[in-house]
């Protein structure tokens, strides 16, 4: 610009002299005006060039000076824009006014870019003309030519860096607006993601969004769109990430390998993912569209970066960790939980992450869904096989209900109840469709019924494994009653039907009666009154018979009591009822026997305690505490793999059914 100004000043001076000389040459003859003659002589004294050459120079100078003067006028206007554009708070105080001034600068620079080179070329042509015809001092012509050589090609810095400085100010204002309205939210654990109280309120007012959009338009028009998207993604991505971290998402980064341990985290994961997608990221998507209104591709790429920074991929990685957890039946429920959460959010995922910019999220989501479906079907189809394999496992030594029975009863109820029935059906339908096969809800019910029937078949095999037949009766009584009680009034009970349930109740009654008859029922005959005569001649014989029968009773009672003290009846009501029946079978008979014949033994001082070891009340108390459940260690449900090896991976089937969620 300085070179152009210097050249213009020199040319302006030359033009003035040329005009004066031309005017003198075109005036009246020398005899008409002494003044004109003097002017001509003075002009000619400054130039020795021919008259016709001077006349031609004047016309050329006039043609070049007009555009050059216009360019200079625009340069003067550009200088006038410096104060309002470089003011520190101008953009923040009056953004529309600042953008209007910037628009004037852009128009001026556009004019200069189009015309400065042409004007400088015309000026250079004039300088060359003056030099070729020796119409000016050669040194002056040389200096002027050198100054103009820098202006022949339009420069990107015609404004001396004013536009770049103004754009820097706009960038700073863009970041300031984002920072001012991008503080992390004060989050709390959402009890229910559909609760209106948990929906995220708007975080950037419409006025600020409008300002951001205006600034973005100007910066993008000047090649700074990438800078804007990076700044926007940084601010908004960090804000959403910080807001979610307040919910406590550490579990996403260090998942356990046990599905049982993962259970509470899976519940949190489903709520947190739904909250993040439907509220936080939904709001961010709308905000991106509003700010990048006329640039949809930039909005998509920016939102993809925000979603990534917010941790959406971490949520998907946690789902993958559930797929990689050790295989057991509890894992099936957790996989169904994951599938259910993803299924509910399917439309949201398609809408938010459907563009090219979110291809990684799409890929990871598809991979997760496939692994969840495959893993769920694999475990479900193995359940029947694993239940059948338990037939070869030893039954509980105390005659109690095997934990697999408790587990399967409750587990199958869950699979056929809400919400797992519909989710599992959907998973199986999808998996079968990949194999060009069909599946429906009835097929699911039949598959679960087959599992229950396989478990029923195990009862007989387990009962035959006991060496003590009376213990096998107790086991069968326990197990059939447990099945009846825990399936009656449930979804499984409805499917199996009342007749099926009554059969188990009848089995319980049958084995209860057989157990009492074959064990405690054998003690009462030991206290028979047969042969005991109390008249004087038979008193000694009677006393011997009473001692003998008490001794036999005591020995058999002690043996049976010690043995059955280690046995249990799992159900409290059944335990009390069975104890009552045992008491009724023994105590009244013992009390009557002792009332009638006890005095015979009591008369024997030293030996009385050898035969009278119990009172009727003592027997009642002892027998009433039989079969109480005791703390038991968790067993394991072993799984046989295709390679023939047996591991205890599916330990969940022997865990307490109370752990099911």
Res 188: pLDDT: 59
Tell me, what's the pLDDT at 62?
A: 61
- pLDDT for 433-465, tens place per residue? 999 998 888 999 999 999 999 999 999 999 999
Both tokens of 232, joined, read: 């926007």
Q: How confident is the model at residue 2 (pLDDT cuts 50, 70, 90)?
A: low
DSSP codes joined into one string, 210-238:
HHHHHHHHHHHHTT-HHHHHHHHHHHHHH
pLDDT of 221 strictly over 50:
yes
Q: Are 463 and 395 in contact (CB under 8 A)?
A: yes
- Record the pTM: 0.73
Quote the CA–CA distance of 640 and 387 in Å, as a whole number: 11
- The predicted pLDDT at position 51 comes to 58
pLDDT confidence band for 601 (50 / 70 / 90): confident
- pLDDT, position 514: 97
In order, the DSSP letters of 349-410 are HHHHS-SGGGHHHHHHHHHHHHHHHHHHHHHHHHHHHHHHHGGGSPPPTT----HHHHHHHH
**Given this model, what pLDDT does residue 54 score?**
56
Q: What percent of the chain has pLDDT over 90?
A: 47
Closest CA to 158 of 86, 97, 100, 71: 71
Asked if pLDDT for residue 659 goes beyond 50, the answer is no
- pLDDT at position 109: 66
Q: What is the pLDDT of residues 159-175, one digit of tens each?
A: 557 788 888 899 999 99
Rounded-to-integer distance, Cα 236 and Cα 234, Å:
6
How far is CA 153 from each of CA 118, 149, 277, rounded to the nearest angstrom?
A: 9, 8, 54
Stronger pLDDT, 143 or 390, i.e. the higher one: 390
**Given a cut of 70, is residue 545 above it in pLDDT?**
yes
Given a cut of 50, whether residue 32 has pLDDT beyond it is: no
pLDDT value, residue 46: 46
- The pLDDT value given to residue 260: 77
Provide DSSP, 432-488.
HHHTT----HHHHHHHHHHHHHHHHHHHHHHHTT-SSHHHHHHHHHHHHHHHHHHHT
Nearest-angstrom CA–CA distance, 403 and 632: 10
Concatenating the DSSP letter of every residue in 300-321 gives HHHHHHHHHHHTHHHHHHHHHH
For residue 101, the model assigns a pLDDT of 81
The shares of helix, strand and coil residues in the chain, as percent rounded to the nearest 5, are: 75, 0, 25
Nearest Cα to Cα of residue 333 among 418, 414, 252, 407: 414
Q: How far apart are CA 444 and CA 424, in angstroms?
A: 8
Please check the confidence at residue 30 and state whether its pLDDT lies above 60.
no
Across residues 386-405, what is the average pLDDT? 93
- Which residues partner with 640 through β-bridges? 646
Taking only the tens place, the pLDDT of each residue in 306-323 is 999 889 999 999 999 999
3-state secondary structure at position 99: helix
Residue % of the chain over a pLDDT of 70:
71
What is the reported pLDDT for 31?
38
Contacts 24+ apart (CB under 8 A), 184-189: 184/239, 184/242, 184/243, 184/246, 185/239, 185/243, 185/246, 186/246, 187/243, 187/244, 187/246, 187/247, 188/246, 188/247, 189/247, 189/248
Phi, psi of 182 (to 5 degrees): -125, 35
User: Is 50 exceeded by the pLDDT of residue 578?
Assistant: yes
Going by pLDDT thresholds of 50, 70 and 90, the confidence category of residue 396 is very high
- Interatomic CA distance for residues 180 and 182, integer angstroms: 6
CA distances 320 to 145, 335, 338, 362, Å, are: 73, 10, 10, 14
pLDDT in tens, 88-135: 677 788 888 888 887 777 776 666 665 565 556 556 666 666 665 566
Query: Could you give the angle at the alpha carbon of 49 between the alpha carbons of 46 and 54, nearest 5°?
Result: 95
CB atoms within 10 A of CB 257: 10
pLDDT in tens, 481-514: 999 999 999 988 999 899 999 999 999 999 999 9
């Amino acid at each position: 610009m300085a070179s152009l100004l210097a050249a213009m000043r020199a040319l302006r001076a030359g033009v003035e002299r040329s005009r004066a000389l031309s005017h003198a040459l075109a005036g009246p003859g020398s005899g008409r005006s002494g003044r004109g003659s003097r002017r001509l002589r003075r002009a000619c004294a400054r130039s020795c060039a021919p008259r016709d050459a001077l006349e031609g120079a004047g016309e050329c100078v006039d043609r070049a000076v007009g555009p050059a003067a216009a360019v200079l006028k625009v340069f003067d206007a550009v200088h006038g824009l410096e104060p309002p554009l470089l003011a520190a708070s101008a953009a923040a105080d009056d953004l529309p006014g600042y953008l209007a001034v910037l628009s004037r600068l852009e128009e001026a620079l556009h004019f200069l870019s189009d015309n400065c080179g042409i004007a400088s070329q015309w000026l250079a042509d004039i300088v060359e003309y003056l030099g070729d015809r020796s119409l000016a001092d050669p040194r002056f012509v040389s200096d002027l030519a050198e100054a103009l050589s820098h202006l022949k090609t339009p420069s990107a810095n015609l404004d001396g860096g004013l536009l770049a400085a103004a754009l820097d100010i706009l960038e700073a204002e863009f970041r300031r607006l984002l920072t001012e309205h991008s503080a992390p939210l004060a989050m709390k654990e959402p009890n229910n993601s559909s609760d209106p109280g948990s929906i995220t309120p708007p975080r950037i007012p419409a006025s600020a969004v409008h300002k951001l959009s205006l600034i973005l338009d100007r910066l993008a028009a000047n090649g700074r769109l990438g800078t804007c998207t990076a700044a926007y993604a940084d601010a908004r991505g960090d804000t959403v990430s910080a807001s979610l971290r307040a919910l406590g998402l550490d579990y996403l980064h260090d998942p356990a390998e046990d599905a049982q341990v993962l259970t509470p985290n899976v519940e949190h994961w489903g709520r947190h993912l739904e909250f993040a997608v439907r509220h936080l990221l939904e709001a961010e998507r709308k905000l991106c569209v509003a700010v990048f209104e006329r640039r949809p591709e930039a909005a998509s790429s920016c939102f993809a970066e925000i979603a990534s920074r917010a941790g959406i991929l971490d949520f998907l990685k946690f789902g993958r960790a559930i797929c990689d957890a050790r295989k057991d039946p509890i894992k099936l429920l957790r996989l169904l939980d994951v599938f259910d959460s993803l299924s509910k959010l399917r439309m949201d995922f398609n809408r938010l992450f459907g563009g090219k910019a979110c291809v990684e999220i799409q890929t990871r989501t598809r991979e997760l869904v496939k692994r969840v479906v495959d893993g769920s079907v694999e475990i479900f189809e193995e359940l029947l096989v694993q239940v059948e394999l338990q037939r070869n496992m030893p039954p509980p030594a105390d005659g109690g209900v095997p934990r697999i029975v408790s587990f399967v009863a409750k587990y199958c109820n869950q699979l056929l109840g809400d919400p797992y029935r519909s989710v599992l059906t959907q998973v199986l339908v999808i998996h079968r469709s990949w194999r060009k096969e069909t599946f429906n809800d009835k097929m699911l019910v039949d598959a679960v019924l087959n599992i229950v029937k396989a478990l029923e078949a195990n009862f007989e095999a387990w009962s035959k494994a006991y060496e003590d037949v009376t213990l096998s009766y107790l086991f069968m009584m326990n197990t059939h009653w447990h099945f009846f009680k825990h399936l009656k009034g449930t979804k499984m009970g409805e499917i199996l039907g009342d007749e099926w349930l009554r059969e188990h109740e009848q089995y319980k009654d049958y084995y209860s009666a057989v157990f009492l008859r074959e064990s405690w029922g054998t003690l009462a005959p030991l206290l028979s009154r047969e042969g005991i005569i109390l008249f004087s001649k038979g008193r000694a014989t009677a006393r011997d018979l009473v001692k003998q029968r008490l001794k036999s009773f005591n020995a058999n009672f002690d043996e049976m009591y010690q043995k059955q003290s280690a046995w249990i009846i799992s159900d409290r009501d059944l335990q009390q009822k069975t104890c009552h029946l045992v008491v009724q079978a023994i105590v009244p008979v013992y009390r009557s026997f002792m009332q009638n014949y006890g005095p015979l033994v009591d008369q024997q001082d030293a030996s009385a305690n050898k035969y009278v070891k119990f009172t009727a009340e003592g027997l009642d108390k002892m027998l009433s505490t039989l079969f109480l459940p005791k703390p038991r260690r968790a067993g394991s449900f072993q799984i046989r793999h295709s390679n023939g090896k047996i591991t205890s991976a599916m330990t969940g089937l022997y865990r307490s059914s109370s752990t099911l969620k």
